[in-house]
Amino acid sequence: MTTVSRITSLSASVVSALLLSACAGSAGSGGGGGGEAGDGYEYGAEAAAVEAAIADLEPASVTYQIPATSLESPQAPMGVAYKEAVEEASGGKLTVELAFNQSIAPYAELHDALADGRVDMAFTLPTYEPDRFPAVNAVNDLLVGQAASPFEGDLLANLLAYDLAWQSPEVLSEYEELGLTPFTPVSATSAYYSVCTEPSTEDEDWSGLQVRVGSQPQNELVGELGASPVSIAGVEAYEALQRGTVDCTLAVLSDVSQGGFFEVAGNLGYPTTTQFPRVSGAILQGSGVQNLPLAYQQILFDASTAAFQGGMETSIGSQAIALEEASEKGVTVEPLADDLQDRIAEANEARMQEVADSGVLGDEVLSRVDETAEFWTGKLEELGYTDQGDFAEFHDWYDPETDFTPLADALMERTLLEHRPS
């Protein structure tokens, strides 16, 4: 089999030329294309057309690093759904090899690993590097203006992140300057919640708490609430809670479930009218994917709809799994007090205004946020993706077989298709 590494064994000058053409092609019209990278096919083409486009190509494989620890992890669907879609569309000629939980490169090295070909595609955390990715982090900061809920709220945040990021040339250029191709330029993933060793839902409870945070906005917010932010790796959070090194962690529920946090911290607090700042990720492709034949690049791109399905199964479905576990373990699940939420909302509004004043995403960015959020709120209502109950009972009313394909199709039509390789 011809692996990505063998396909990309080209001279430095040829690689540079291909990187330039790949960047230009990412903003193409979505047509069949052709040229040095070979012939492609039209989006939505019948299977026979795809088969014809790849008939003369050597088999290839792509390594995709995802945050899940194993196939049993609640985070696994984001990789599994994508892998299955790519391999089905290519008749098995293009395979996706999943790598788990930073097994190839840790987050601190991952963008460089994509550029140099150690990994071909990966979920990354550019929000860990605000100085390197100011525009990406600005999109993350703008997501806090919407109310949180485990279903409609998280769907809106993810759709908003996709749309704002693809609309923002400042975001795309940050990746292109590193020789990377965005697949999901900003992924909102799941909402963040407070998981604490003692009840901590009242405003006064936060005074003096030691709280693990995962981003600069969380760091600043926790300090404003009177607590002390602590920056430690996610894999160390369980032990830190167990030993009392920290009193709370702000975390997505997939990490809570995967890390077993409820065993040592039995108090879950959730916002209802605002949200904690997120630690958005991204799914990026590196030099290995850019140097594949065009038809293979298009197959990888066209599986975006399956990736969205798997991503929402991870982001949203994992919350239902975690709340089921919370119920079984007797975890206290309570909303944050109104005055605490008011302080969080006030800090969020100030951060959004800072982004607007900075100009890092251009002019009138808050108006673009409002317009985009209004569009997707209407689309969610139109397609029936609405909350059917409260957060604490989410595991009772959420359907794990929910089909997110209609939303993925709408996202493709509105936002993604113009960036299809061509």
Fold assignment, 4-190+279-317+393-419: D-Maltodextrin-Binding Protein; domain 2 (3.40.190)
8 Å CB contact between 293 and 8? no
Tokens 């990994």, located at residue: 119
What CA–CA distance (Å, rounded) separates 345 from 147?
A: 9
- Residue 413 is given by DSSP the state I
- Per residue in 300-355, pLDDT tens? 999 999 999 999 999 999 999 999 999 999 999 999 999 999 999 999 999 999 99
Fold assignment, 193-278+320-361: D-Maltodextrin-Binding Protein; domain 2 (3.40.190)
Residues contacting 373, CB < 8 A, separation 6+: 145, 146, 156, 160
Residues contacting 169, CB < 8 A, separation 6+: none
193-278+320-361 matches 4-190+279-317+393-419 in CATH topology: yes
Q: Which of 101, 24, 115 is nearest to 66 (CA)?
A: 101
DSSP secondary structure, 232-247, as one string = --GGGHHHHHHHTS-S
What confidence category does residue 34 fall into, taking pLDDT thresholds of 50, 70 and 90?
A: very low
8 Å CB contact between 63 and 303? no
- Per residue in 394-421, pLDDT tens? 999 999 999 999 999 999 999 999 999 9
8 Å CB contact between 272 and 163? no
**Encoding tokens for residue 159?**
């759709």
**Encoding tokens for residue 87?**
């391999």
Three-state DSSP state, 11: coil
- Per residue in 143-167, pLDDT tens? 999 988 999 999 999 999 999 999 9
What CA–CA distance (Å, rounded) separates 175 from 136?
A: 9
The structure's pTM equals 0.88
**The amino acid at 223:** G
What CA–CA distance (Å, rounded) separates 188 from 141?
A: 10
What are the extents of the domains in the chain? 4-190+279-317+393-419, 193-278+320-361
